[in-house]
Amino acid sequence: MPKPVEIARQTKETEIKLKLTLKGSGEASIQSGIGFFDHMLEALCKHALMDLSLTCRGDLHVDGHHTVEDVGIVLGQALKEAIFPVGAIERFGDRIVVLDEAAVQVALDISNRPYLHFGPELSGSVGGFDAELAEEFFRALTTQAGLSCHITLLRGRNLHHILEAMFKAFAVALRTALSHNPRMSSTPSTKGVL
Protein backbone atom coordinates (compact mmCIF):
# COMPACT_ATOMS: atom_id res chain seq x y z
CA MET A 1 0.00 0.00 0.00
CA PRO A 2 1.45 3.38 -1.00
CA LYS A 3 2.41 5.61 1.89
CA PRO A 4 0.64 8.94 2.37
CA VAL A 5 2.02 12.07 0.71
CA GLU A 6 2.95 14.83 3.13
CA ILE A 7 3.63 18.41 2.07
CA ALA A 8 4.30 21.57 4.05
CA ARG A 9 4.36 24.96 2.33
CA GLN A 10 4.90 28.37 3.88
CA THR A 11 4.74 31.77 2.22
CA LYS A 12 4.14 35.28 3.53
CA GLU A 13 0.43 34.70 2.84
CA THR A 14 -0.26 31.12 3.94
CA GLU A 15 1.12 28.25 5.99
CA ILE A 16 -0.19 24.85 4.90
CA LYS A 17 0.36 21.30 6.16
CA LEU A 18 -1.19 18.44 4.22
CA LYS A 19 -1.27 14.65 4.41
CA LEU A 20 -2.99 12.78 1.56
CA THR A 21 -3.78 9.12 1.10
CA LEU A 22 -5.05 8.82 -2.48
CA LYS A 23 -6.82 5.49 -2.11
CA GLY A 24 -8.42 5.82 1.29
CA SER A 25 -11.90 5.72 2.73
CA GLY A 26 -13.00 9.34 2.32
CA GLU A 27 -11.93 10.60 5.75
CA ALA A 28 -11.12 14.29 6.05
CA SER A 29 -9.84 16.62 8.76
CA ILE A 30 -9.69 20.09 7.26
CA GLN A 31 -9.14 23.49 8.81
CA SER A 32 -8.64 26.27 6.27
CA GLY A 33 -10.32 29.05 8.23
CA ILE A 34 -13.14 29.19 5.64
CA GLY A 35 -15.99 26.97 6.80
CA PHE A 36 -17.72 26.54 3.46
CA PHE A 37 -14.42 25.72 1.74
CA ASP A 38 -13.75 23.07 4.40
CA HIS A 39 -17.19 21.62 3.65
CA MET A 40 -16.40 21.45 -0.09
CA LEU A 41 -13.04 19.77 0.51
CA GLU A 42 -14.70 17.25 2.82
CA ALA A 43 -17.22 16.45 0.07
CA LEU A 44 -14.38 16.08 -2.44
CA CYS A 45 -12.58 13.61 -0.17
CA LYS A 46 -15.74 11.66 0.64
CA HIS A 47 -16.64 11.08 -3.01
CA ALA A 48 -13.07 10.62 -4.31
CA LEU A 49 -12.47 8.12 -1.48
CA MET A 50 -9.22 9.79 -0.52
CA ASP A 51 -8.12 10.67 3.00
CA LEU A 52 -6.93 14.20 3.68
CA SER A 53 -5.60 16.00 6.71
CA LEU A 54 -5.08 19.70 6.00
CA THR A 55 -4.47 22.82 8.04
CA CYS A 56 -4.03 26.27 6.57
CA ARG A 57 -3.34 29.55 8.31
CA GLY A 58 -3.88 32.27 5.74
CA ASP A 59 -4.20 36.02 5.55
CA LEU A 60 -7.99 35.92 5.80
CA HIS A 61 -7.96 39.52 7.06
CA VAL A 62 -7.19 40.37 3.41
CA ASP A 63 -9.62 37.89 1.82
CA GLY A 64 -9.88 34.20 1.04
CA HIS A 65 -8.04 34.23 -2.28
CA HIS A 66 -4.55 33.29 -1.09
CA THR A 67 -5.89 30.54 1.18
CA VAL A 68 -8.07 28.92 -1.49
CA GLU A 69 -5.50 29.16 -4.28
CA ASP A 70 -2.61 27.95 -2.12
CA VAL A 71 -4.62 24.98 -0.84
CA GLY A 72 -5.28 24.13 -4.50
CA ILE A 73 -1.54 24.36 -5.24
CA VAL A 74 -0.54 22.07 -2.36
CA LEU A 75 -3.35 19.57 -2.95
CA GLY A 76 -2.42 19.48 -6.65
CA GLN A 77 1.23 18.82 -5.79
CA ALA A 78 0.21 15.99 -3.46
CA LEU A 79 -2.06 14.47 -6.09
CA LYS A 80 0.72 14.57 -8.69
CA GLU A 81 3.12 12.83 -6.32
CA ALA A 82 0.51 10.20 -5.47
CA ILE A 83 -0.68 9.58 -9.06
CA PHE A 84 2.50 9.59 -11.18
CA PRO A 85 3.90 7.49 -12.63
CA VAL A 86 0.56 5.99 -13.55
CA GLY A 87 -0.03 2.29 -13.96
CA ALA A 88 -3.00 0.37 -15.33
CA ILE A 89 -5.68 2.99 -14.72
CA GLU A 90 -8.68 4.14 -16.72
CA ARG A 91 -7.06 7.60 -17.17
CA PHE A 92 -10.32 9.33 -18.21
CA GLY A 93 -13.21 10.18 -15.93
CA ASP A 94 -16.52 11.90 -16.62
CA ARG A 95 -19.45 12.53 -14.29
CA ILE A 96 -22.58 14.62 -14.03
CA VAL A 97 -23.63 15.26 -10.45
CA VAL A 98 -26.96 16.78 -9.52
CA LEU A 99 -27.86 18.50 -6.28
CA ASP A 100 -31.52 19.49 -6.33
CA GLU A 101 -31.89 21.97 -9.21
CA ALA A 102 -28.14 22.17 -9.96
CA ALA A 103 -26.30 19.90 -12.41
CA VAL A 104 -22.55 20.06 -13.05
CA GLN A 105 -20.47 17.99 -15.45
CA VAL A 106 -16.78 17.29 -14.94
CA ALA A 107 -14.65 15.46 -17.51
CA LEU A 108 -10.98 14.93 -16.84
CA ASP A 109 -7.89 13.27 -18.24
CA ILE A 110 -4.91 12.25 -16.11
CA SER A 111 -2.69 13.43 -18.94
CA ASN A 112 0.22 15.19 -17.21
CA ARG A 113 -0.72 18.13 -19.47
CA PRO A 114 -2.48 20.75 -17.33
CA TYR A 115 -5.56 22.45 -18.73
CA LEU A 116 -8.73 23.82 -17.19
CA HIS A 117 -11.98 24.83 -18.84
CA PHE A 118 -14.33 26.35 -16.27
CA GLY A 119 -17.66 27.81 -17.17
CA PRO A 120 -19.57 29.86 -16.79
CA GLU A 121 -18.00 32.31 -14.35
CA LEU A 122 -19.56 32.32 -10.90
CA SER A 123 -20.21 35.32 -8.67
CA GLY A 124 -21.64 35.85 -5.22
CA SER A 125 -20.69 34.16 -1.96
CA VAL A 126 -21.77 31.32 0.30
CA GLY A 127 -20.82 31.32 3.96
CA GLY A 128 -17.97 33.77 3.42
CA PHE A 129 -16.64 31.84 0.42
CA ASP A 130 -16.42 33.89 -2.79
CA ALA A 131 -17.81 31.68 -5.55
CA GLU A 132 -15.30 33.00 -8.08
CA LEU A 133 -12.56 31.36 -5.98
CA ALA A 134 -13.78 27.91 -7.06
CA GLU A 135 -12.18 28.53 -10.45
CA GLU A 136 -8.94 29.68 -8.78
CA PHE A 137 -8.89 26.51 -6.66
CA PHE A 138 -9.46 24.14 -9.59
CA ARG A 139 -6.96 26.01 -11.80
CA ALA A 140 -4.25 25.71 -9.15
CA LEU A 141 -5.08 22.06 -8.46
CA THR A 142 -5.22 20.91 -12.09
CA THR A 143 -2.07 22.83 -13.02
CA GLN A 144 -0.04 21.31 -10.20
CA ALA A 145 -1.53 17.81 -10.56
CA GLY A 146 -1.10 17.63 -14.35
CA LEU A 147 -4.79 17.13 -15.09
CA SER A 148 -6.77 18.25 -18.12
CA CYS A 149 -10.20 19.11 -16.77
CA HIS A 150 -13.47 20.57 -18.05
CA ILE A 151 -15.95 21.79 -15.43
CA THR A 152 -19.29 22.87 -16.86
CA LEU A 153 -22.39 24.14 -15.10
CA LEU A 154 -25.32 22.60 -16.95
CA ARG A 155 -28.04 24.31 -14.88
CA GLY A 156 -28.66 25.68 -11.43
CA ARG A 157 -29.75 28.69 -9.38
CA ASN A 158 -28.69 28.03 -5.80
CA LEU A 159 -24.99 28.85 -5.44
CA HIS A 160 -24.47 26.40 -2.58
CA HIS A 161 -25.92 23.59 -4.70
CA ILE A 162 -23.85 24.57 -7.74
CA LEU A 163 -20.56 24.65 -5.85
CA GLU A 164 -21.23 21.42 -3.98
CA ALA A 165 -22.20 19.61 -7.19
CA MET A 166 -18.98 20.91 -8.76
CA PHE A 167 -16.70 19.54 -6.04
CA LYS A 168 -18.56 16.22 -5.93
CA ALA A 169 -18.50 15.81 -9.72
CA PHE A 170 -14.76 16.47 -9.75
CA ALA A 171 -14.30 13.90 -6.99
CA VAL A 172 -16.21 11.13 -8.75
CA ALA A 173 -14.59 11.86 -12.13
CA LEU A 174 -11.16 11.67 -10.48
CA ARG A 175 -12.02 8.43 -8.68
CA THR A 176 -13.24 6.95 -11.99
CA ALA A 177 -10.10 8.02 -13.86
CA LEU A 178 -7.90 6.46 -11.16
CA SER A 179 -9.78 3.16 -11.24
CA HIS A 180 -7.62 0.11 -11.91
CA ASN A 181 -8.15 -1.45 -15.32
CA PRO A 182 -6.89 -5.06 -15.23
CA ARG A 183 -6.92 -5.26 -19.03
CA MET A 184 -4.47 -2.35 -19.34
CA SER A 185 -1.03 -3.94 -19.40
CA SER A 186 0.94 -0.69 -19.45
CA THR A 187 0.61 3.08 -19.25
CA PRO A 188 -2.70 4.13 -20.87
CA SER A 189 -1.07 6.11 -23.69
CA THR A 190 0.14 5.31 -27.19
CA LYS A 191 3.26 7.32 -26.28
CA GLY A 192 4.05 4.83 -23.53
CA VAL A 193 4.36 7.59 -20.94
CA LEU A 194 2.24 10.32 -19.40
pLDDT digits (tens, 9 = 90+) for 24-70: 999 999 999 999 999 999 999 999 999 999 999 999 999 999 999 99
Q: Smallest Cα–Cα separation from 24: which of 6, 55, 3? A: 3
Contact in structure between 24 and 82 (CB atoms under 8 Å): no
- For residue 22, the model assigns a pLDDT of 97
Residues 10-39 as b or e (16 or more Cβ within 10 Å = b): eeeebebbbbbbbeeebebebebbbebbbb
* 5-177 CATH: 3.30.230.40
- For residue 120, the model assigns a pLDDT of 93
User: Is the alpha carbon torsion for 86, 87, 89, 92 positive or negative?
Assistant: positive
For the chain, residues with pLDDT lower than 70 are: 1
